[in-house]
Amino acid sequence: MTEHGKRTILDRRSVLKGGAFALAAATAGISIFTPRISKADPAKVVIKYDWLMSNGQIGDIVAVKQGLFQAEDLEVEFSPGGPNSATVPPVVTGQAQLGQFSDSAQLLLARASGVPIKIFACGFRMAPFAFYSLPKSPIRTVQDLVGKRIGIQPTARYVLDAILLKNNIDPASLTITNIGFDMTPLTTGQVDAVTGWITNTQALSVIGPDRIDLMMKDTGLPSYANVYFATDDALENHADTLAKVLRAIARGWAWTHQHPDEAVKLAVEAYPQLDLAVELKTVSRILSLSFDAATGRDGWGDFHPAAIAEQITVYDKIGQFKSGAPKLEDCYSTKILEMTAADRPKIA
């Protein structure tokens, strides 16, 4: 199983793991930032990721390799996640000063359960999640799903449910099959489409050059990916430090946009488990997820609250919020974006 294959668009278990919600109430109001030993010391910041370091964090890695955090007087440590790692508890308890979720919906689930965290920036303008089909039974639009056999990972099933609800499609009009992260059920004709992350170049290669992609953004369901989050306390009382972190990361992504091949080499140097040839093929796709017309206008890292509001509405209708839907204003903060508006690259 590949590293991208293991990560799903929205995994309730990864949010619940480790007693994160119980910790939220216990730690509310506690300052989570460790003070400097002296003013001459750089501020120590730990960033907790919910998956292994990969091409989705290439700009963050570049920020370290190019000394961009150091230029902000920060000492930054990356804390990668994985299949048995919890993302929320380290941030809530202060072991990490901020975190990154693979998908914005994970934040909504956490907030609905009482965890005091908010999105303050987004790394990918859209989720890398997509449906893959072949010309013999093409799926180019959401309506093309009707009557088709869809192979999907169980943890991503309610993403499909949300897409169908958004488009007024009866789930009974599809044949839905649980699959793993191997794409061969499509090539062997067992299903008409499979799902997965479009950044997983190696796994998708088995489908061949005739692959047809239906991206999640083209289904009408909005979603941001690789979203950065922090506690309410951090956003209120340590905004300056978070602004420094975001400024350095944004500049790392700008450098990556300008020097993609060099950025890949830096990432592979830092994380040798990455495959240089595969990542060189994938970096253009990564940049297409990180930069679009909106980033050309508003700067890298920006997001639209209206899209988050729409997510809340749809996921509430399919029953994902067991304790009730979170309030929109509790789910995000634009404070750090506003503080860094002049410094985040405006690249389309």
Q: What is the pLDDT of residue 40?
A: 57
Q: What is the pLDDT of residue 83?
A: 82
Average pLDDT along the chain: 90
Q: What is the pLDDT of residue 36?
A: 42
Mean local confidence (pLDDT), 282-305: 97
What domains are defined for the chain?
A: 3-125+224-339 (3.40.190.10), 129-219 (3.40.190.10)
| H helices, E strands: number in the chain | 17, 10
Name the one residue in this structure whose structure tokens are 């048995």: 84
The answer, yes or no, to whether residue 179 has pLDDT greater than 70, is: yes
Give the containing element (helix H, strand E) for 130: strand 129-133
**Residue pair 305/153 in contact by the 8 Å Cβ criterion:** no
Long-range contacts of 32-35 (CB under 8 A, 24+ apart): 32/91, 32/92, 32/93, 32/94, 32/97, 32/231, 32/233, 32/234, 32/238, 33/94, 33/97, 33/234, 33/237, 33/238, 33/241, 34/94
How many whole angstroms separate alpha carbon 297 and alpha carbon 341? Answer: 11
**Residue pair 348/295 in contact by the 8 Å Cβ criterion:** yes
Residue 100 half-sphere exposure toward CB, CA atoms < 13 A? 30
Q: What is the pLDDT of residue 42?
A: 82
Give whole-number Cα distances, 127 to 80, 168, 273, in Å: 20, 21, 24
The answer, yes or no, to whether residue 25 has pLDDT greater than 70, is: no
Q: What is the pLDDT of residue 2?
A: 44
Q: What is the pLDDT of residue 311?
A: 97
Q: Identify the residue with better confidence: 34 or 278.
A: 278
Give whole-number Cα distances, 277 to 26, 200, 283, 313, in Å: 47, 13, 10, 41
Q: What is the pLDDT of residue 322?
A: 94
How many whole angstroms separate alpha carbon 246 and alpha carbon 238? Answer: 13
The answer, yes or no, to whether residue 27 has pLDDT greater than 50, is: no
pLDDT band at 314 (very low <50, low <70, confident <90, very high): very high
Q: What is the pLDDT of residue 101?
A: 97
What percent of the chain has pLDDT above 70? 88
The answer, yes or no, to whether residue 128 has pLDDT greater than 90, is: yes
Q: What is the pLDDT of residue 85?
A: 86
Q: Report residue 139: phi and psi, to 5°.
A: -125, 95
Closest by alpha carbon to 242, among 343, 344, 120, 332?
Answer: 120
Mean local confidence (pLDDT), 108-122: 97
Q: Report residue 213: phi and psi, to 5°.
A: -105, 130
Structure tokens at 285: 């796709």
How many whole angstroms separate alpha carbon 238 and alpha carbon 255? Answer: 26
Q: What is the pLDDT of residue 7?
A: 52
Structure tokens at 157: 């099933």
The answer, yes or no, to whether residue 23 has pLDDT greater than 50, is: no
Q: What is the DSSP string of 111-136?
A: HHTT--EEEEEEEESS--EEEEE-TT
Q: What is the pLDDT of residue 209?
A: 95
- pTM for this one? 0.90
pLDDT band at 82 (very low <50, low <70, confident <90, very high): confident
The answer, yes or no, to whether residue 37 has pLDDT greater than 50, is: no
pLDDT tens per residue across span 241-273: 999 999 999 999 999 999 999 999 999 999 999
Q: What is the pLDDT of residue 33?
A: 45
Closest by alpha carbon to 347, among 289, 291, 288?
Answer: 291
The answer, yes or no, to whether residue 78 has pLDDT greater than 80, is: yes
Q: What is the pLDDT of residue 95?
A: 96
pLDDT tens per residue across span 182-206: 999 999 999 999 999 999 999 999 9
Worst-scoring range by mean pLDDT, 28-42, 93-107, 217-231, 325-339? 28-42
- Please give the distance of CA 27 from its chain centroid, rounded to a whole number: 25
101: helix, coil or strand?
Answer: strand
Worst-scoring range by mean pLDDT, 31-45, 177-191, 264-278, 326-340? 31-45
Structure tokens at 330: 């509790």
